[in-house]
Amino acid sequence: MYDVGEGLAGVTIKPSSGSYTAVTSTSGGYAIPFTNTGTINVTASGGALTTSVTHSVTLANVNVKVDFQPDKSGLPGIVTVLLPAVDTLLNQDSARFSWNKVTGATSYHLQVATDSLMKKLLVNDSSIVDTQKVYQGLKDSGVYFWRVAAKNAKGTGDYSLVQGFTVSLPPGQETLITPANGIRVGGPSITFNWKSGAPRVSLYHFVLSAHSNLSNPIIEDSASFDTFKVVLTSSLQDSTTYYWTAQAENESGWGSPAAIRSFRLTVASIGSQSPVLPTLVTVQPNPVTSEARIAFTLARSEDVSLKIYNTLGACVATLAEGKLAPDAYSLKWNAAALPSGTYFYQLRIADQLSAGHIVVAH
Protein backbone atom coordinates (compact mmCIF):
# COMPACT_ATOMS: atom_id res chain seq x y z
CA MET A 1 0.00 0.00 0.00
CA TYR A 2 1.15 3.55 -0.72
CA ASP A 3 -0.21 7.07 -0.58
CA VAL A 4 -1.71 8.83 -3.59
CA GLY A 5 1.09 10.55 -5.48
CA GLU A 6 3.86 8.26 -4.26
CA GLY A 7 3.85 6.08 -7.37
CA LEU A 8 6.76 6.69 -9.75
CA ALA A 9 5.99 6.94 -13.46
CA GLY A 10 8.42 6.23 -16.29
CA VAL A 11 10.47 3.60 -14.46
CA THR A 12 11.64 0.66 -16.61
CA ILE A 13 10.96 -2.83 -15.18
CA LYS A 14 13.10 -5.58 -16.74
CA PRO A 15 13.26 -9.31 -15.83
CA SER A 16 16.62 -11.08 -16.25
CA SER A 17 14.96 -13.49 -18.72
CA GLY A 18 11.89 -13.56 -20.92
CA SER A 19 10.78 -11.42 -23.86
CA TYR A 20 8.98 -8.54 -22.13
CA THR A 21 9.78 -5.36 -20.19
CA ALA A 22 7.44 -2.65 -18.89
CA VAL A 23 7.43 1.07 -18.08
CA THR A 24 5.44 2.14 -15.02
CA SER A 25 2.25 4.17 -15.48
CA THR A 26 1.45 7.48 -13.78
CA SER A 27 0.26 5.54 -10.72
CA GLY A 28 3.54 3.59 -10.56
CA GLY A 29 1.92 0.31 -11.61
CA TYR A 30 3.14 -2.20 -14.18
CA ALA A 31 2.44 -5.77 -15.43
CA ILE A 32 4.70 -8.17 -17.36
CA PRO A 33 3.62 -11.52 -18.86
CA PHE A 34 6.07 -14.31 -17.95
CA THR A 35 5.64 -18.00 -18.89
CA ASN A 36 8.74 -19.65 -17.44
CA THR A 37 9.26 -20.88 -13.90
CA GLY A 38 12.16 -20.62 -11.53
CA THR A 39 14.10 -17.80 -9.89
CA ILE A 40 14.90 -14.63 -11.83
CA ASN A 41 16.05 -11.10 -11.06
CA VAL A 42 13.75 -8.15 -11.77
CA THR A 43 15.36 -4.70 -12.03
CA ALA A 44 13.74 -1.25 -11.85
CA SER A 45 15.73 1.65 -13.31
CA GLY A 46 15.40 5.09 -14.85
CA GLY A 47 12.63 7.59 -14.41
CA ALA A 48 12.65 9.10 -10.92
CA LEU A 49 15.02 6.43 -9.59
CA THR A 50 18.51 7.80 -9.09
CA THR A 51 19.91 4.27 -8.72
CA SER A 52 18.51 0.97 -9.97
CA VAL A 53 16.83 -1.50 -7.61
CA THR A 54 16.89 -5.29 -8.15
CA HIS A 55 14.75 -7.97 -6.50
CA SER A 56 14.99 -11.77 -6.78
CA VAL A 57 11.67 -13.53 -7.34
CA THR A 58 10.65 -17.20 -7.76
CA LEU A 59 7.83 -17.99 -10.20
CA ALA A 60 5.69 -21.17 -10.23
CA ASN A 61 2.88 -20.52 -12.75
CA VAL A 62 1.07 -18.01 -10.52
CA ASN A 63 1.08 -14.21 -10.45
CA VAL A 64 3.76 -12.61 -8.28
CA LYS A 65 3.61 -9.09 -6.92
CA VAL A 66 6.99 -7.31 -6.95
CA ASP A 67 7.23 -3.83 -5.38
CA PHE A 68 10.19 -1.50 -5.66
CA GLN A 69 11.25 1.34 -3.41
CA PRO A 70 14.12 3.73 -4.13
CA ASP A 71 17.32 3.22 -2.17
CA LYS A 72 17.17 6.18 0.22
CA SER A 73 20.41 5.62 2.03
CA GLY A 74 22.45 8.82 1.95
CA LEU A 75 19.52 10.98 0.83
CA PRO A 76 18.53 14.10 2.81
CA GLY A 77 15.74 13.83 5.35
CA ILE A 78 12.23 15.22 5.00
CA VAL A 79 11.88 19.00 4.94
CA THR A 80 9.87 20.75 7.67
CA VAL A 81 7.84 23.47 5.95
CA LEU A 82 7.07 26.76 7.70
CA LEU A 83 5.10 29.29 5.65
CA PRO A 84 2.47 29.59 4.31
CA ALA A 85 1.02 27.46 7.08
CA VAL A 86 -1.68 24.93 6.27
CA ASP A 87 -5.06 26.51 5.48
CA THR A 88 -3.62 30.04 5.55
CA LEU A 89 -5.68 32.82 3.90
CA LEU A 90 -3.44 35.24 1.98
CA ASN A 91 -4.61 38.76 1.10
CA GLN A 92 -1.93 39.41 -1.52
CA ASP A 93 -0.97 38.08 -4.95
CA SER A 94 2.42 36.77 -3.80
CA ALA A 95 3.57 34.18 -1.28
CA ARG A 96 6.89 33.60 0.45
CA PHE A 97 7.50 29.85 0.81
CA SER A 98 9.92 28.97 3.60
CA TRP A 99 11.16 25.81 5.30
CA ASN A 100 13.79 24.58 7.76
CA LYS A 101 17.29 23.70 6.60
CA VAL A 102 17.96 19.97 6.25
CA THR A 103 21.31 18.57 7.33
CA GLY A 104 23.35 17.45 4.35
CA ALA A 105 21.12 19.14 1.77
CA THR A 106 22.82 21.17 -0.96
CA SER A 107 19.63 22.41 -2.64
CA TYR A 108 15.84 22.10 -2.53
CA HIS A 109 13.03 21.27 -4.92
CA LEU A 110 9.88 23.42 -4.51
CA GLN A 111 6.59 22.56 -6.18
CA VAL A 112 3.48 24.76 -6.14
CA ALA A 113 0.30 23.53 -7.81
CA THR A 114 -3.40 24.25 -8.17
CA ASP A 115 -4.34 20.66 -7.27
CA SER A 116 -3.58 18.52 -4.22
CA LEU A 117 -2.08 15.76 -6.39
CA MET A 118 0.61 18.22 -7.53
CA LYS A 119 -0.05 17.60 -11.20
CA LYS A 120 -0.95 21.16 -12.30
CA LEU A 121 2.31 22.79 -11.35
CA LEU A 122 2.86 26.55 -11.27
CA VAL A 123 6.34 26.23 -9.74
CA ASN A 124 8.68 23.30 -10.29
CA ASP A 125 12.06 24.67 -9.21
CA SER A 126 14.73 22.11 -8.30
CA SER A 127 17.66 24.52 -8.05
CA ILE A 128 16.89 26.52 -4.89
CA VAL A 129 19.90 26.82 -2.59
CA ASP A 130 18.16 28.99 0.01
CA THR A 131 15.37 27.90 2.37
CA GLN A 132 12.78 30.25 0.88
CA LYS A 133 11.35 31.44 -2.42
CA VAL A 134 8.84 34.16 -3.35
CA TYR A 135 6.24 33.46 -6.02
CA GLN A 136 4.10 36.21 -7.56
CA GLY A 137 1.00 35.90 -9.71
CA LEU A 138 -1.49 34.27 -7.33
CA LYS A 139 -5.12 34.70 -8.41
CA ASP A 140 -8.05 35.91 -6.36
CA SER A 141 -10.17 33.12 -4.82
CA GLY A 142 -7.50 30.60 -5.83
CA VAL A 143 -6.62 27.48 -3.80
CA TYR A 144 -2.98 26.42 -3.95
CA PHE A 145 -0.86 23.49 -2.73
CA TRP A 146 2.88 23.18 -2.15
CA ARG A 147 5.64 20.87 -0.95
CA VAL A 148 9.45 20.80 -0.75
CA ALA A 149 12.12 18.10 -1.00
CA ALA A 150 15.81 18.36 -0.05
CA LYS A 151 18.58 17.33 -2.48
CA ASN A 152 22.24 16.34 -2.31
CA ALA A 153 24.73 14.55 -4.56
CA LYS A 154 23.01 11.19 -3.95
CA GLY A 155 19.60 12.43 -5.10
CA THR A 156 16.33 13.86 -3.86
CA GLY A 157 14.80 12.96 -0.51
CA ASP A 158 11.11 12.52 0.23
CA TYR A 159 8.78 15.47 -0.23
CA SER A 160 7.18 17.17 2.73
CA LEU A 161 3.47 16.71 3.25
CA VAL A 162 1.37 18.75 0.84
CA GLN A 163 0.15 22.02 2.41
CA GLY A 164 -2.81 24.04 1.10
CA PHE A 165 -3.65 27.73 1.30
CA THR A 166 -6.22 30.13 -0.19
CA VAL A 167 -5.91 33.61 -1.73
CA SER A 168 -8.50 36.35 -1.23
CA LEU A 169 -7.40 39.69 -2.68
CA PRO A 170 -8.76 43.17 -1.91
CA PRO A 171 -10.53 44.90 -4.83
CA GLY A 172 -8.45 46.41 -7.59
CA GLN A 173 -8.15 50.12 -8.20
CA GLU A 174 -11.36 51.79 -9.31
CA THR A 175 -11.65 53.41 -12.76
CA LEU A 176 -13.37 56.80 -12.71
CA ILE A 177 -15.76 57.42 -15.62
CA THR A 178 -17.63 60.70 -15.23
CA PRO A 179 -17.16 63.58 -14.88
CA ALA A 180 -14.05 63.66 -17.04
CA ASN A 181 -10.88 65.07 -15.54
CA GLY A 182 -10.47 68.85 -15.75
CA ILE A 183 -13.88 69.54 -17.25
CA ARG A 184 -16.34 72.31 -16.35
CA VAL A 185 -19.59 70.98 -14.93
CA GLY A 186 -22.98 72.63 -14.51
CA GLY A 187 -26.63 71.76 -14.03
CA PRO A 188 -28.72 71.09 -10.93
CA SER A 189 -26.78 67.92 -10.03
CA ILE A 190 -23.61 66.01 -10.81
CA THR A 191 -23.51 62.25 -11.20
CA PHE A 192 -20.15 60.72 -10.31
CA ASN A 193 -19.69 57.31 -11.90
CA TRP A 194 -16.88 54.75 -11.58
CA LYS A 195 -16.11 51.19 -12.65
CA SER A 196 -15.88 48.42 -10.08
CA GLY A 197 -12.36 47.16 -9.37
CA ALA A 198 -13.46 43.57 -8.60
CA PRO A 199 -16.55 41.35 -8.65
CA ARG A 200 -16.55 40.80 -4.87
CA VAL A 201 -17.19 44.35 -3.65
CA SER A 202 -19.18 44.97 -0.47
CA LEU A 203 -18.85 48.77 -0.19
CA TYR A 204 -17.60 51.82 -2.07
CA HIS A 205 -15.93 54.87 -0.54
CA PHE A 206 -16.53 58.21 -2.29
CA VAL A 207 -14.66 61.42 -1.42
CA LEU A 208 -15.31 64.95 -2.73
CA SER A 209 -13.18 67.89 -1.62
CA ALA A 210 -12.20 71.41 -2.61
CA HIS A 211 -8.56 70.49 -1.89
CA SER A 212 -6.29 68.57 -4.26
CA ASN A 213 -5.13 66.29 -1.42
CA LEU A 214 -8.79 65.54 -0.53
CA SER A 215 -8.40 67.08 2.93
CA ASN A 216 -11.50 68.45 4.72
CA PRO A 217 -13.86 66.53 2.42
CA ILE A 218 -17.24 68.04 1.64
CA ILE A 219 -18.68 64.55 1.11
CA GLU A 220 -17.19 61.29 2.39
CA ASP A 221 -19.50 58.33 1.89
CA SER A 222 -18.36 54.83 2.94
CA ALA A 223 -21.73 53.10 2.83
CA SER A 224 -22.51 53.04 -0.88
CA PHE A 225 -23.37 49.83 -2.71
CA ASP A 226 -23.66 51.58 -6.11
CA THR A 227 -20.97 52.64 -8.56
CA PHE A 228 -22.33 56.17 -8.72
CA LYS A 229 -23.02 59.12 -6.46
CA VAL A 230 -25.40 62.02 -7.20
CA VAL A 231 -24.50 65.39 -5.67
CA LEU A 232 -26.73 68.48 -5.87
CA THR A 233 -24.78 71.51 -7.10
CA SER A 234 -26.71 73.63 -4.60
CA SER A 235 -24.51 72.08 -1.92
CA LEU A 236 -21.36 73.30 -3.71
CA GLN A 237 -19.91 76.71 -4.54
CA ASP A 238 -20.02 78.08 -8.05
CA SER A 239 -16.77 78.86 -9.92
CA THR A 240 -14.85 76.45 -7.68
CA THR A 241 -12.54 73.54 -8.55
CA TYR A 242 -13.33 70.26 -6.81
CA TYR A 243 -11.46 66.97 -6.50
CA TRP A 244 -12.84 63.44 -6.12
CA THR A 245 -12.00 59.76 -6.03
CA ALA A 246 -13.55 56.38 -5.17
CA GLN A 247 -12.32 53.06 -3.83
CA ALA A 248 -13.84 49.63 -3.11
CA GLU A 249 -13.85 47.23 -0.17
CA ASN A 250 -14.45 43.51 0.23
CA GLU A 251 -13.86 40.99 3.03
CA SER A 252 -10.10 41.26 2.45
CA GLY A 253 -9.93 45.04 2.94
CA TRP A 254 -9.90 48.27 0.95
CA GLY A 255 -8.47 48.49 -2.55
CA SER A 256 -6.39 51.40 -3.82
CA PRO A 257 -8.25 54.68 -4.47
CA ALA A 258 -8.61 55.73 -8.08
CA ALA A 259 -6.35 58.50 -9.37
CA ILE A 260 -7.84 61.80 -8.20
CA ARG A 261 -9.86 63.76 -10.76
CA SER A 262 -10.86 67.41 -10.75
CA PHE A 263 -13.66 69.49 -12.26
CA ARG A 264 -14.74 73.11 -12.09
CA LEU A 265 -18.30 73.89 -11.13
CA THR A 266 -19.90 76.49 -13.42
CA VAL A 267 -23.58 76.85 -12.61
CA ALA A 268 -24.04 80.52 -13.49
CA SER A 269 -23.07 82.14 -16.78
CA ILE A 270 -19.47 83.33 -16.71
CA GLY A 271 -19.60 85.71 -19.67
CA SER A 272 -21.52 86.33 -22.83
CA GLN A 273 -18.95 84.44 -24.91
CA SER A 274 -18.97 81.38 -22.68
CA PRO A 275 -20.91 78.23 -23.53
CA VAL A 276 -24.22 78.06 -21.70
CA LEU A 277 -25.50 74.79 -20.30
CA PRO A 278 -29.19 73.94 -20.54
CA THR A 279 -31.12 75.16 -17.54
CA LEU A 280 -32.66 71.72 -17.08
CA VAL A 281 -32.13 68.20 -18.41
CA THR A 282 -35.09 65.85 -18.07
CA VAL A 283 -35.40 62.13 -18.65
CA GLN A 284 -38.89 60.72 -19.15
CA PRO A 285 -39.76 58.12 -18.09
CA ASN A 286 -37.15 57.19 -15.49
CA PRO A 287 -37.10 54.25 -14.72
CA VAL A 288 -37.59 53.22 -18.34
CA THR A 289 -38.77 49.87 -19.70
CA SER A 290 -38.18 50.37 -23.41
CA GLU A 291 -37.89 53.98 -24.64
CA ALA A 292 -36.97 57.23 -22.89
CA ARG A 293 -36.57 60.82 -24.05
CA ILE A 294 -33.80 63.11 -22.86
CA ALA A 295 -34.85 66.74 -23.21
CA PHE A 296 -32.87 69.96 -22.93
CA THR A 297 -32.85 73.47 -24.39
CA LEU A 298 -29.77 74.91 -26.09
CA ALA A 299 -29.42 78.69 -25.73
CA ARG A 300 -27.17 79.12 -28.78
CA SER A 301 -25.33 77.09 -31.39
CA GLU A 302 -22.67 74.90 -29.79
CA ASP A 303 -20.81 71.60 -30.22
CA VAL A 304 -22.93 69.03 -28.37
CA SER A 305 -22.34 65.40 -27.39
CA LEU A 306 -24.97 63.26 -25.66
CA LYS A 307 -23.94 59.69 -24.82
CA ILE A 308 -25.23 56.86 -22.63
CA TYR A 309 -22.82 54.70 -20.58
CA ASN A 310 -23.23 51.51 -18.57
CA THR A 311 -21.69 50.96 -15.14
CA LEU A 312 -18.55 49.49 -16.73
CA GLY A 313 -17.88 52.77 -18.52
CA ALA A 314 -18.77 51.46 -21.99
CA CYS A 315 -20.73 53.78 -24.28
CA VAL A 316 -23.97 51.99 -25.23
CA ALA A 317 -25.57 54.80 -27.27
CA THR A 318 -24.68 58.13 -28.89
CA LEU A 319 -27.72 60.37 -29.26
CA ALA A 320 -25.98 63.54 -30.45
CA GLU A 321 -22.51 64.38 -31.75
CA GLY A 322 -21.65 67.66 -33.43
CA LYS A 323 -22.86 71.27 -33.68
CA LEU A 324 -26.50 71.93 -32.85
CA ALA A 325 -28.51 75.09 -33.43
CA PRO A 326 -30.31 76.90 -30.59
CA ASP A 327 -33.50 74.95 -29.95
CA ALA A 328 -35.43 72.75 -27.55
CA TYR A 329 -34.38 69.11 -28.03
CA SER A 330 -36.03 65.84 -27.04
CA LEU A 331 -33.79 62.95 -28.08
CA LYS A 332 -35.05 59.37 -28.08
CA TRP A 333 -33.11 56.50 -26.43
CA ASN A 334 -34.28 52.95 -27.07
CA ALA A 335 -33.20 50.74 -24.13
CA ALA A 336 -35.38 47.73 -24.97
CA ALA A 337 -32.43 45.50 -25.91
CA LEU A 338 -30.25 46.45 -22.94
CA PRO A 339 -30.07 44.56 -19.63
CA SER A 340 -31.86 46.01 -16.62
CA GLY A 341 -29.66 48.19 -14.43
CA THR A 342 -28.31 51.70 -13.97
CA TYR A 343 -27.03 53.75 -16.91
CA PHE A 344 -25.61 57.28 -17.14
CA TYR A 345 -26.20 60.07 -19.61
CA GLN A 346 -23.41 62.57 -20.29
CA LEU A 347 -24.38 65.81 -22.03
CA ARG A 348 -21.34 67.80 -23.08
CA ILE A 349 -21.74 71.33 -24.46
CA ALA A 350 -18.40 72.74 -25.57
CA ASP A 351 -16.18 72.05 -22.52
CA GLN A 352 -18.99 71.89 -19.97
CA LEU A 353 -20.72 68.75 -18.78
CA SER A 354 -24.03 67.73 -17.31
CA ALA A 355 -24.64 64.12 -16.28
CA GLY A 356 -27.21 61.96 -14.54
CA HIS A 357 -28.40 58.39 -14.17
CA ILE A 358 -31.22 56.44 -15.82
CA VAL A 359 -32.62 53.19 -14.47
CA VAL A 360 -33.63 50.50 -16.99
CA ALA A 361 -36.20 48.09 -15.52
CA HIS A 362 -37.67 45.52 -17.89
Q: How confident is the prediction along the chain (362 residues), in pLDDT tens digits per residue?
A: 666 667 888 999 999 988 899 999 988 999 999 888 889 999 999 987 877 889 999 998 889 999 988 777 788 999 999 999 999 999 999 999 999 999 999 999 999 999 998 999 999 999 999 999 999 999 988 999 999 999 998 888 889 999 999 999 998 888 898 888 998 887 777 888 888 767 688 889 999 999 999 999 999 988 777 788 888 888 899 899 999 999 999 888 888 899 999 999 987 543 434 444 545 788 999 999 999 999 888 878 888 999 999 887 789 999 999 999 888 888 999 999 999 988 989 888 877 777 888 999 98
Q: What angle do CA 284, 353, 178 make, to 5 degrees?
A: 90
pLDDT given at position 270: 39
d(CA 207, CA 312): 20
**DSSP structure string for 112-165:** EESSTTS-SEEEEEEEE-SSEEEEE-PPTT-EEEEEEEEE-SS-B-PPPPPEEE
pLDDT given at position 82: 95
pLDDT given at position 273: 42
pLDDT given at position 1: 62
The tally of CA atoms less than 13 A away on the side-chain side of residue 262 is 11
Domains of the chain, first to last: 1-71 (2.60.40), 81-167 (2.60.40.10), 175-360 (2.60.40.10)
